[in-house]
Amino acid sequence: MCFIDKDFDPQFLASFFSLLMKRKVEYTVLRNYKHLPNKLDGSDIDILINEQDKKKFEQYLNSIISENGGKPIVFYRAGRFVRACYIGYDYKYWSFQLDIHYGEDYRGVEYYESNKLLKHSQLHNNIKVLNYSDAMLLGVLKEILNNAKFRKNYFEKASLEYKRNHHYYDEMLINMLGKKAHRIWKQNLLNNVELNEKKLAAITRRALLKTQLKSNPIKIVRKKMRYTYDRYKRIFNPPGYMIAVLGVDGAGKTTLIDCIQAPLNQAVHGQVKIQHLRPNLLPSIAKIFGKKENVSQIDNPHENHPSGIVGSLLRITYYAFDYVLGYWVKVYPELITRQRIYIFDRYFYDYRLDQRRNAISLPDWVFELIQWLIPKPDLILCLGADPRVIYERKPELALDEITRQVNNLRQLCKENRRAVWINTDVAVEKSVSMALKEISKNMSARYTNNSYG
């Protein structure tokens, strides 16, 4: 059982919001504030900040995160939007995701007047939150503009709010979209009839861009260029991260992965993805030939006899192709578009460390040659313990074989600058703490400057 509490939330939230109020930072929490400031309840924090208070806000945020042992493991920007994910230790591990809005934009074009949102905020548990009427319309517009769909009954709720306060909504929509698009929205909000979502999204996007270009074309072009540049940067500096966990059977891989998954998932809002051994874009060789996966191999991993040289070469070449193609088609696109953390339970190195398990028999130089083509994880956690301890936990392999694999894994850890050794013959809490410390240290090292500027 893990010592990480999945429902644990940072205790400094109350003091953080109190500081914003005390220092007169103009802000409002946009959504998911029901349990704030006492707990996150598994959600992230969406907060709108007055652009004039940007430097002041960042200063207080960085200060309070650092004071509570926190590090930014992900942050990226797109125009006036910043996504920051934190993990830290203060008596126990905490983590959360913070979405910072310096304006409500769609691809660099403002679609909701931030000053009005801030002006009309209200108090909830002594923190400033977005009023319900604005929240409903903002929710509908955000979903249509960004995803071309409605969800969470936003349209129905927005329709009710429109009927209660249509003068305010009419002014907002005309300023935002112009009279023609406003009439379409008005008709549907009054009758609570949803247009085709894709059609409404296209109409709204065109109207928004046209209206804003008319009002200030130079400003809009500049913001669009900045937004595009920010998106382009992610291709070379992905916000996502890839971790490989290696270790002989009995070293504690499954337990450790289960335990680090909870705080990491809370930090990146459910974007942790576990993969076994490889990207699995291609089916296994056994499946291609219509054979069932060998379940008995879990208890007896060395049951299969190795293939010959030709068979081994074909096998390793096929799986190497899965690593290369699977990474660029499946893994990398997710790493650059979101805060995805991929955790691989074993990786390509296992084919060399334990050839018998994978029915392979090849000289080391073949693996060294192929390994140059395989995409490298950002971090490799090498799990190991005294071979006798591992044997007592899981005696499927002979003690000599366990010793050989542990020694080879140690050697890999020494030779590979991305690899770190995690001792697992101590209490689970210590092993997990070591792993989280290494993950947060290495992920945050990507950002030499914590400013969001």
What are the extents of the domains in the chain? 13-233, 241-444
| Structure token digits, residue 446 | 């990507």
pLDDT at 443: 95
pLDDT > 90? residue 159: no
Q: Which of the given ranges, 106-110, 287-291, 302-306, 403-407, has the highest pLDDT on average?
A: 403-407
pLDDT at 451: 44
When pLDDT is averaged across residues 379-406 and rounded to a whole number, the result is 91
Nearest to 81 by CA among 49, 55, 38: 49
Show Cβ contacts of residue 364 under 8 Å, excluding neighbours closer than 6 positions.
352
Q: What angle do CA 44, 223, 96 make, to 5 degrees?
A: 10
Long-range contacts, 401-410 (Cβ 8 Å, 24+): 401/302, 402/248, 402/250, 405/248, 405/353, 405/354, 406/248, 406/251, 408/353, 409/246, 409/247, 409/248, 409/353, 409/382, 409/384, 410/382, 410/384
pLDDT at 450: 46
CB 371 within 8 A of CB 319: no
pLDDT > 90? residue 335: yes
CB 61 within 8 A of CB 88: no
pLDDT at 18: 87
Q: What angle do CA 330, 333, 335 make, to 5 degrees?
A: 105
pLDDT > 60? residue 231: yes
Kindly report the average pLDDT of the chain as a whole number: 87
For 397-451, what is each residue's pLDDT tens digit?
889 989 999 999 999 999 999 999 999 988 888 999 999 999 999 999 998 654 4
Pick the CATH number of 13-233 from 3.30.460, 3.40.1000, 3.30.70, 1.10.10: 3.30.460
pLDDT > 70? residue 395: yes
pLDDT at 453: 38
| Structure token digits, residue 44 | 């992230």
Q: d(Cα 54, Cα 59) in Å, to the nearest integer?
A: 9
pLDDT > 90? residue 187: no
389-400: buried (b, 16+ CB within 10 Å) or exposed (e) per residue? ebbeeeebbeee
Show Cβ contacts of residue 191 under 8 Å, excluding neighbours closer than 6 positions.
none
pLDDT at 154: 77
Band of the pLDDT at 10, cuts 50, 70, 90?
A: low
DSSP-derived secondary structure for 146-205 = HHSS--TTHHHHHHHHHHHSHHHHHHHHHHHH-HHHHHHHHHHHHHT-PPPHHHHHHHHH
For 47-72, what is each residue's pLDDT tens digit?
999 999 999 998 889 888 888 888 99
Q: Which CATH architecture has domain 241-444?
A: 3-Layer(aba) Sandwich (3.40)
